[in-house]
Amino acid sequence: MKYILTKKFEKQFSKLSNRQKEKTIGKIEVLVSAEVDGSLRKHCLHGKFKGAYSINVTGDIRAVYIKSRKDLIKFVAIGTHSQLYK
């Protein structure tokens, strides 16, 4: 499976600490390679992110993505729970 990052995601990602960036890259690689991993805590979203999914990067950091096609994931946002869902 392939993935792309939106400009918004890249801007939010650039503000993360180096450790958070490393964790994010690792979680994205797990999602892209297997997509079935309990540590990701993947779940469907509603509200302003209706139709999107979220994965757990760290205790409070979430990455939001949309399945554009069967073989393509588009990451649209990343941040803390309160930043994303306020």
CB 74 within 8 A of CB 4: yes
The pLDDT-based confidence of 37 (bands split at 50, 70, 90) is: low
CATH code of the domain in which 33 resides? 3.30.2310.20
**Counted domains in the chain:** 1
Which two three-digit tokens encode residue 52? Answer: 């999107």
Q: At residue 61, does pLDDT exceed 90?
A: yes
pTM above 0.85, yes or no: yes
Residue 44: Cβ-neighbour burial (10 angstroms; 0-12, 13-18, 19+): exposed
Average pLDDT of the residues of the chain? 90
* Owning domain of residue 43: 2-85
Strand positions, DSSP E, the chain: 2-5, 43-44, 53-56, 61-69, 72-80
